[in-house]
Amino acid sequence: MIKLFACDLDGTLLNYFHQVDKTILKAIRAVEEAGLEFTVATGRNMRAQQRRDFGLDQVRMHAVGMNGAMVFNTSGELIYAKPMDKAFIEELLRAFPELGFECIGYDHVFVTDSRERHTAYGGRKGVLGLVMRPMRAKFLADCRFDQTPSDVLGRDILKINCHVHDAARERELKAFIAEHSDRVVNAPFNPTMFEITDKDVNKGTAVAYLARYLGFSEDEVAVYGDGGNDLKMLERFRNAYATSNGSDAAKQAAGTVIGHCALHAVPHHIMRTLRAQRG
C-alpha cells in the first residue's frame, strides 16, 4: 500500500504553465482524505512563502526542497537540513569570480553578480515566459545581489545554482566539480544549468528520511519525476514513475512511464492509486 506520495514539481506535478491548478489540488486533498501523506520533492526552496506562491498553502503537505538539502513537515517546520561545505564554496567563488552564482541560504538567495548582469539573460520566451514572469519576479525579490565571497561565507548555503553561457567555461566548471566529487554533486533538472549541493544530498535520500520520520517503509512510497535531479529518487524506490515528457534517463531510472505533465498524468495516477487501494 502506498502511504507517501512524493512528487517533483516542474515537468511532473505542475501543469504546462508550471502552475498548480484545481486538478492538482484535488489529488493532494484526496491523499489527505485517505489518511495518507503527500510531499513535493523539488530543487526549489519550498519555504512557507514558496508554498503560497504556488497555491500549495491550500493543502496539507510535506516538502523536500533544494534537491533534498531541506525537508519540511506539514507545519512548515524544518526537520532536516544539509548545508554545503564552506571551504568548497570559497574555492568555487575564487576560481570562477565572473560567474553569477545563486547561493541559496535558509532565508535568501545570495547572488555573486549585479542585478543588471544577472537578469540580462532574460529567461523563457513567448507565452510561457509571460506566465512565469510573476514567479521570476518573486524569486528576484528574494535575491541579494553584488555579494562578495565573504558575504556568502557568512551564511549557511544549501544549494548553488548557475547558468554558464560560455562553452569553455562550462567545461572548466564541470571539471572543477568532478575534482571535488568527495564534497559536492551537481544534479541539475536539465543539462543547461548547474545545481550544486553537498555530495550526500539528493531527493532519494531526503524522501527516504521523510518516510522513516513518518514510520513508513520505502515500499510504501511512490515517487514521480522527469529530470536529472530526480534520478536518485526514481532509482531508489520500487514504486517509481516518470512522465512521458521527462528525460530518457528519468524514464529508464523509473522503469514505468505515465502520461504528459500537461495532461495531469501525476494527479490522475495518484487518484487511480487511491481508488485501487480502496478496493
Once rounded to an integer, what is the mean pLDDT over residues 14-30? 95
Percent of the chain with pLDDT over 70: 94
What's the total number of domains in the chain? 2
| Model pTM score | 0.92
Range of the structural domain that residue 98 is part of: 86-198
For 18, 50, 91, 263, the CA distances from 135, given in Å and listed in that order, are 10, 9, 31, 22
With a cut of 80, say whether residue 126 has pLDDT above it.
no
Residues 92 and 168 in one domain: yes
pLDDT in tens, 79-108: 999 999 999 999 999 999 999 999 999 989
Residues 236 and 140 in one domain: no
> Residue 63 sits in a domain of what CATH number?
3.40.50.1000
Once rounded to an integer, what is the mean pLDDT over residues 15-41? 96
| Phi/psi at 121 (5° precision) | -65, -35
- Give Cα 138 to chain centroid, integer Å: 17
Strands 157-162 and 194-198: antiparallel
pLDDT in tens, 34-93: 999 999 999 998 887 788 888 899 999 999 999 999 999 999 999 999 999 999 999 999
Dihedral of the alpha carbons of 186, 191, 194, 197, in degrees to the nearest 10: -30
Domain edge (last residue) among 198, 227, 258: 198
Residues 222 and 272 in one domain: yes
Domain edge (last residue) among 174, 198, 222: 198
